[in-house]
Amino acid sequence: MPDRGGGPTGPRIRAGNPSRRVRTLLVTLGVLAVLGMAFTMFAGFWTDWLWYRSVHYSSVFTTTLWTKIGLFFVFGLLMAVAVGVNIWLAHRLRPPLSAMSMEQQSLDRYRMGIAPYKTWLLLGIAALVGLIAGASASGQWRTWLMWVNGVPFHQQDPQFHLDVSFYAFDLPWYRFLLGFGFATAILSLIAAALTHYLYGGLRVTSPGARATGAATGHLSVLLGVFVALKAVAYWLDRYGLAVKSSDFKATDDWTGLRYVDANAYLPAKTILFCIAAICALLFFATLWRRTWQLPVIGFGLMVLSAILIGGLYPAIVQKFQVQPNEQAKEAPYVQKNLKATREAYGIDDTKVTEYEGKSTTADNTKLRGDVDDAASIRIMDPNIVSPTFQQLQQMRNYYGFPTNLDVDRYTKNGKDQDTVIGLRELNLAGVPKNNWINDHFRYTHGYGVVAAKGTEADSEGQPVFTEYDLPSKGDLGTYQQRIYYGEKTTEYSIVGGPQKEIDYSDDNGEKTTSYTAKSGVNLASPINRAAYAVAFNEPQILYSGAIGKGSRILYNRTPKERVEAVAPWLTIDGDAYPAVVNHRIQWIVDAYTTTNGYPYASRTTLGDTTADSLTAGNNSRAVVAQQNQVNYIRNSVKATVDAYTGEVKLYQWDTEDPVLKTWMKAFPGTVQPRSAISGDLMAHLRYPQDLFKVQRELLTRYHVTDAQTFLTGSEVWQVPNDPTNKSGNAVPPYYLSMKMPDQNAQAFSLSTTFTPNGRDNLSAFMSVDSEAGSSDYGKIRILKLPTSTTVQGPKQVQSQFNSEQEIAAAIKLLKGGDSEVEYGNLLTVPLDGGLLYVEPVYVRGGGLKYPLLRKVLVTYEGRTAFENTLGAALDKVFGTQEPATPPPDTGTSNPPASGNPTVQQALSDAQKAFDAGQEALKKPDWEAYAKAQKDLQAALKRAEEAQARAGGKTG
């Protein structure tokens, strides 16, 4: 063609150069993008490997990784080969092509279009389904490891007499294999059918036979495989009945066979297995008969049988045999469920004792003396006094305490003392200026333990500290006080390099330090720095001059996440707690082994049963569950995390647990024997809260051992809601050193109460011995109250406190101005056949940002006292003088306080003293505030005495 541009052709050639440059640029960008994605994936893998190596649990990483890789390739390859071979075989069995119909003519263009790419298309489809199947299979690494390493329970189920390990370890793996087989058969069937249709082996609208003989044989074999797998499914379903959940007697977590399962579903599954096996043989027979008639008839009969035998027949049995006489029919199966559930949750040895609920001693003086022997009553509530610790012992804004402190026990002068304890952890929100250097290099750790007596408060209502100040000093002696790992430490820190860290501040200014432990990952390597820069999305890690020789990065710093990472097969208790052990601060973490496959044991949902008023809105106290629905649980591992080095140690606690033994086989060397626990550490181990909460929830129904009683539902209890707040959540269990009626001395215990279902009176009191070194450790005791009389429950006791006229008037005064009243833990203590309730009352007054103990409520046998100290309240209830409020059943009534001039004057003086205290807070004038508080207490004391005198005269 002529050149219409009027110029030479050279410029046209040059015009093509930018196009080549663009293509080159696009190719380069594409390569860089691929390399970037590859390095991002590598960075995640590499940093994980470095972290596991740094905590000396690299075997956990490698075992898990190789197991996932093995499952990925084995099952991915099986799926890819199965689908690919069936596509290839369908293509190989295609009939000679001829455009004999409109249908075949329309398919011709598709056949011609894919002809040049048949091999690549085959490989692509096979690879795609293989990748999907491999990725799905790799997620079953726990199931594989439990199956291949499973050890026997040496306990048999009552129906099939198989070892429990079959249900816990074997059946889940067989079900996975069956599911994989179904997926393979269905995908192969679809792929083969589409290929046969594309190449004429199957015809939809064409005249003549709908399928060639080769296609008929091929597809019938695949259908036969599917039906054969269905036969296997029916056979496994027989055993699945032992771990099947169903709704029964208002219980949605019932597990195990019932009458209808044993007498209708079980034989139905056996019959359906036989029918499916015969039907599969009929499909295979089409290889010779080349007809669908018999297999289709057989398949139809199988479907009809599944409806009639597997669905209708059990419904008839339930309606006409079970319902007219349910208790008699179900009782044997309920008995099996009761036994299995109690064994699976470790509550089979629970000791239930009848308890009168009323005192048997008329001598109040003796009862007053018995209180100190009955319990070391803790009036410092660890869930209330954290702000008090914060205000009095924070020392610097960049330190903080957790919302809920912990209760431990320490020995002084040969006597155990219940102690409220917390760590002064790093709080980055309080750093004077937040920037990358400050947040990750300079402010890196907390400092010191703060502890207080649980049973005492000083004259101002403040905790009596036994470990205090900065650096901490007191009863705990010398120990490594720096806290690099803690519950509030969620950011990474880079330590040990050229940048000095702030240690703590005193009157002489800031002290600095450098981390000397070998924890964390060394950042000396440029590859490591680049990997962490990508993994943490922080480019400065790559080039910052603050990182140099000796720099190490610390992360995964909370105790729970460290234990969960090194032992991903464990469920982690929601409350890690600190203790000073062998001159070091150790976080102690309770961990559980669980399974969902214990036959006949009813299931529980961990997230629900471990929730209470303390966990509501507090994720840091939530259980870390690998499996939320479980029907077997053991506190099999006690773990420690060093607050300075981050070192994680796992100790075998339950030496008989087969689930732990299985995981120890899978990950050898990760769990140390129980004998490795030192005596100092043993003194601080305790019974875990989350296990206790699971057990108490089960014991609301499974405290009974008789099937008939269980079926009537007359003995169902409930965990009461926390009466001290309006959250509507369950009351939390409390640690307390106390003595149960059959014990000779106090033991550190965890306790709770029960009320009848739908009612507020007390039905039982439950306690477990939490002394780890004791022979009674883990022994659950339940004091069952009589059903013929009414004993006040927690809500009723709280209501009584709030409704007492004199107490209500005093609380109203305490609430005056900007003050807030906070109720502490309502403790219940068995005492001489009755129950003693004690509740500390805190006031967060005016400008004060923290609660102080102002009053203690005590009630026993209807006698109530509201005094400044526990001792005074106990003296009032058990003393020789008349109690401030007479028992409800005496029939007497006091005149209103407003009718007594002396009481009126005293209350007026109390109001004046309170107002003076508020004014002193505004200035603030602490000396004047202290004087006003003393005047307030004296006025309230005069009001109580005047009211008591008036009540005595009226009586």
Q: Which of 72-76, 642-646, 741-745 has the lowest mean pLDDT?
A: 741-745
Give CA–CA dist 951/879, Å, rounded: 17
Place of tokens 């239930």: 352
Grade residue 150 by pLDDT with cuts at 50, 70 and 90. very high
Q: How many CA atoms lie within 13 A of 889 on its CB side?
A: 3
Segment 342-374, tens digit of pLDDT: 999 999 999 999 998 888 877 778 888 888 889
User: What average pLDDT does the structure give for the chain?
Assistant: 86
Quick check: 648 pLDDT over 60? yes
Give the model's pLDDT for residue 367.
86
Quick check: 520 pLDDT over 60? yes
Q: Which of 12-21, 87-96, 466-475, 862-871 has the lowest mean pLDDT?
A: 12-21
Quick check: 9 pLDDT over 60? no
CA distances from residue 290 to 194, 217, 330, 632 in whole angstroms, order as listed: 20, 6, 51, 52
Segment 841-851, tens digit of pLDDT: 999 876 667 89
Quick check: 474 pLDDT over 50? yes
Q: What percent of the chain has pLDDT over 70?
A: 89
Give the model's pLDDT for residue 354.
92
Give CA–CA dist 586/688, Å, rounded: 16
Segment 535-567, tens digit of pLDDT: 999 999 998 889 989 899 999 999 999 999 999
CA 797 to mean position of chain CA atoms: 31
Quick check: 915 pLDDT over 80? no
Most confident of 41-55, 283-297, 621-635, 720-734: 41-55
Grade residue 87 by pLDDT with cuts at 50, 70 and 90. very high
**More reliable by pLDDT, 110 or 424:** 424
Give the model's pLDDT for residue 145.
97
Place of tokens 């150069």: 17
Give the model's pLDDT for residue 886.
43
Grade residue 532 by pLDDT with cuts at 50, 70 and 90. very high
Angle between helices 266-289 and 293-307 (to 10 degrees): 170
Quick check: 670 pLDDT over 70? yes
**Comparing C-alpha atoms, which of 7, 159, 135 is closest to residue 72?**
135
Most confident of 185-194, 717-726, 785-794, 837-846: 185-194
Quick check: 955 pLDDT over 50? no
Quick check: 50 pLDDT over 80? yes
Quick check: 295 pLDDT over 90? no
Segment 375-418, tens digit of pLDDT: 999 999 998 999 999 999 988 889 999 989 999 999 888 888 89
Grade residue 879 by pLDDT with cuts at 50, 70 and 90. confident
**More reliable by pLDDT, 818 or 774:** 774
Q: What does the pLDDT average to over 561-577?
A: 94
Grade residue 888 by pLDDT with cuts at 50, 70 and 90. very low
Q: What does the pLDDT average to over 876-892?
A: 52
**Comparing C-alpha atoms, which of 692, 558, 686 is closest to residue 612?**
692
Strand partners, 586: 642
Give the model's pLDDT for residue 445.
94
Kindly state the tokens that stand for 728: 């509507």
Quick check: 891 pLDDT over 70? no
Give the model's pLDDT for residue 925.
64
Segment 65-82, tens digit of pLDDT: 999 999 999 999 999 999
Quick check: 171 pLDDT over 90? yes
Segment 251-264, tens digit of pLDDT: 668 899 999 999 99
Q: What does the pLDDT average to over 101-130?
A: 80
Grade residue 918 by pLDDT with cuts at 50, 70 and 90. low
Segment 595-616, tens digit of pLDDT: 999 999 999 999 888 888 787 7
How far the first Cα of the chain sits from its last, in Å, is 128
Give the model's pLDDT for residue 557.
94
Give the model's pLDDT for residue 882.
47
Give CA–CA dist 915/918, Å, rounded: 5
Q: What percent of the chain has pLDDT over 90?
A: 53
**More reliable by pLDDT, 539 or 879:** 539
Quick check: 508 pLDDT over 80? no
Strands annotated E in 653-733: 717-718
Q: Which of 16-25, 187-196, 645-654, 705-714 has the lowest mean pLDDT?
A: 16-25
Pair 195, 147: CB distance under 8 Å: no
Grade residue 887 by pLDDT with cuts at 50, 70 and 90. very low
Give the model's pLDDT for residue 953.
41
Give the model's pLDDT for residue 704.
92
Grade residue 192 by pLDDT with cuts at 50, 70 and 90. very high
Long-range pairs of 768-771 with CB within 8 A, sequence gap ≥ 24: 768/687, 768/692, 768/695, 769/687, 770/686, 770/687, 770/735, 771/686, 771/747
Give the model's pLDDT for residue 97.
62
The whole model's pTM is what?
Answer: 0.86
Pair 64, 141: CB distance under 8 Å: yes
Helix (H, G, I), strand (E, B) or coil at 504: strand
Q: Which of 144-153, 297-306, 833-842 has the lowest mean pLDDT?
A: 297-306
Give the model's pLDDT for residue 634.
95
Q: Which of 109-113, 338-342, 450-454, 624-628 has the lowest mean pLDDT?
A: 109-113
Give the model's pLDDT for residue 948.
58
Give CA–CA dist 617/109, Å, rounded: 63
Q: Which of 407-411, 713-717, 750-754, 811-815 has the lowest mean pLDDT?
A: 811-815
Instruction: Compute and round to an integer the Cα radius of gyration of the chain.
Output: 36
